[in-house]
Amino acid sequence: MSVVEFAEALDIVLEHARGFPARTAEQIALLDAAGRVLAEDVTADRDQPPFHRSTRDGFAVRATDFTASAQLKIVGQVRAGEAWCSDAMQPGCAIEIMTGAPMPDGADAVAMIEHVALADGNVWAAPGRTLRAGENVVPQGSEARAGEVVLAAGSVIGAAEIAMSAACGHAELMVRSRPSVTIIATGDELVELGARLGSQQIWNSNGYALAALVAVAGGRAERSKIARDTREDIRARIAEGRRSDLLLLSGGVSAGKYDLVEEALAEFGAEFFFTGVKMQPGRPVVFGRLPGLDGEQATYFFGLPGNPVSTQVTFHCFVEPLLRAMCGAEPVGPKFVQGTLAEDVSAKAGLTRVLPTILRHDLERPELRLVSWQGSGDLGANARANCYAVLPDGEALHAGDVVTVLLR
Ligand code: AMP
Ligand code: MG
């Protein structure tokens, strides 16, 4: 069995993430598309902008006419949503124009309302103001030409992509179907919400955490019945779930007497890519693949440690990149950025630590402060955090040091 370095585990997952065939495509309403992956390129339905667009309220003029010495006659007005339908504007004239309106023929720039002088139906440059041709105008087609790709297949759809699609008139999008993800929580101590809870028992919070994480990462979560800590029960749950695209088990992967998940997976002929990672929390995490049934694709699985913070950390590090790629997105690793520590952090040898942290979103000094916690069962500390500081093996760190941060 192989326990690997943190960086190696990330590489192993990414290698597998590169191997997924394209999933089937389906057409869905634009507003349902958040979090999904584009199956097709989205193209511009016409030039963007569709006309030479004024970016200011002011006066459409010929730039060369715009001086402090010559008064230009205001011959009309064009508002956003209107078009200038009269003859081309003549030299020596100006047309009042609003932001977002199409430029009248004959004008080549817009003088901002703040930069002009006005009297008796005439307009001219305020002292010291000049204008270049093209100023305050975005030319037709300069953002995109009709038919040009504005969003590439494989893009993950968020608000920016929804806005671009709407701007190009697309009320529906072709997206990849969502992979099914079966979630199996294991543990004799677990109780489902709504059932009766003995004083020695705990709620199955991981089942909910994983369902939420899967949904955000683009999967379709199916929560199975809790597996008790017996080989038979774990086997039964795996047998039910193994036709899904991805299998997530929580708990039962440590070295305890009732940690039977690996054994149960092995009985199905599992191939293991790693059976532990030198990280904290999350060390017992298992990654592998079950052989496909009836000529179907093999089913990837993760055995995630049961401690709730470990479950979530290992999801972000390993499951999320694999699941995103399964959805059809470009295979990329976890969301790592860098941040500055606000305080000293002591060293720990032999493990990469991924610790609940608050990134203070301060304009001048965004800083990282580790959350004090009771260890990897502390869901409260995890909820108070908004990211995880990734602290390298064995190095004492100091306030001001820049470290990697895992976003969630
Ligand atoms: P295990 O990985 O099974 O040894 O579990 C480690 C710790 O996580 C134990 O304290 C378990 O009670 C807890 N745990 C395991 N599964 C869950 C779950 N589904 N929800 C909440 N806590 C869990
Ligand atoms: Mg357990």
| pLDDT tens for each residue of 377-388 | 999 999 999 999
Question: What average pLDDT does the segment 361-368 reach?
Answer: 91
Report how far ligand 2's centroid is from the alpha carbon of 307 (Å).
Answer: 9
Report how far ligand 1's centroid is from the alpha carbon of 280 (Å).
Answer: 16
Residues of the chain with pLDDT > 90, as a percent, come to 96
Task: With beta carbons less than 8 A apart as the criterion, state whether 370 and 356 touch.
Answer: yes
Q: Is 204 in the pocket of ligand 1 (CB under 6 A)?
A: yes
Question: What average pLDDT does the segment 1-17 reach?
Answer: 95
Best mutation site among 206, 208, 262, 379 for ligand 1 pocket (most ligand atoms within 8 Å of CB) = 206
Cα dist. 32→25, 102, 296, 356, 394 in Å? 14, 33, 29, 32, 46
Note the pLDDT tens digit of each residue in 292-332: 999 899 999 999 999 999 999 999 999 999 999 999 999 99
Task: With beta carbons less than 8 A apart as the criterion, state whether 115 and 63 touch.
Answer: no
Atom of ligand 1 nearest to the CA of 252: 3
Atom of ligand 1 nearest to the CA of 253: 2
Which pLDDT score, from 0 to 100, does residue 1 have? 63
Note the pLDDT tens digit of each residue in 46-71: 999 999 999 999 999 999 999 999 99
- Protein residue closest via CA to atom 5 of ligand 1: 306
- Protein residue closest via CA to atom 12 of ligand 1: 189
Q: Is 202 in the pocket of ligand 1 (CB under 6 A)?
A: yes
- Protein residue closest via CA to atom 3 of ligand 1: 251
Q: Sorting pLDDT into bands at 50, 70 and 90, what band is 349?
A: confident
Q: Give me 334's structure tokens.
A: 């976890």
Residue 47's Cβ-count burial label (10 Å; 0-12, 13-18, 19+) is middle
Give the ligand at the shortest distance from the Cα of 189: 1
**Residue-wise burial string across 130-154, b where 16 or more C-beta atoms lie within 10 A, e elsewhere:** ebeeebbbbebbebbeeeeebbebb
Give the ligand at the shortest distance from the Cα of 253: 1
Q: Sorting pLDDT into bands at 50, 70 and 90, what band is 361?
A: confident
Question: What average pLDDT does the segment 112-126 reach?
Answer: 98
Note the pLDDT tens digit of each residue in 144-200: 999 999 999 999 999 999 999 999 999 999 999 999 999 999 999 999 999 999 999
Which pLDDT score, from 0 to 100, does residue 183 have? 98
Atom of ligand 1 nearest to the CA of 185: 19
Best mutation site among 201, 237, 250, 283 for ligand 1 pocket (most ligand atoms within 8 Å of CB) = 250
Task: With beta carbons less than 8 A apart as the criterion, state whether 332 and 378 touch.
Answer: no
pLDDT at 251 > cutoff 80: yes
Residues of the chain with pLDDT > 70, as a percent, come to 100
| CA-derived radius of gyration, the chain | 30
Spatial distance between the Cα atoms of 248 and 235, rounded to a whole number of angstroms: 14
Q: Sorting pLDDT into bands at 50, 70 and 90, what band is 395?
A: confident
Question: What average pLDDT does the segment 338-359 reach?
Answer: 94
Atom of ligand 1 nearest to the CA of 207: 19
- Protein residue closest via CA to atom 9 of ligand 1: 307
Strand 93-97, strand 72-78: pairing: parallel
pLDDT at 337 > cutoff 80: yes
Note the pLDDT tens digit of each residue in 82-94: 999 999 999 999 9
Report how far ligand 2's centroid is from the alpha carbon of 202 (Å).
Answer: 11
Task: With beta carbons less than 8 A apart as the criterion, state whether 151 and 38 touch.
Answer: yes
Report how far ligand 2's centroid is from the alpha carbon of 254 (Å).
Answer: 8
Which pLDDT score, from 0 to 100, does residue 67 have? 97
Average pLDDT over the chain, rounded to an integer? 97
Which pLDDT score, from 0 to 100, does residue 347 have? 82
Q: Is 205 in the pocket of ligand 1 (CB under 6 A)?
A: yes
Report how far ligand 1's centroid is from the alpha carbon of 285 (Å).
Answer: 13
Which pLDDT score, from 0 to 100, does residue 394 have? 85
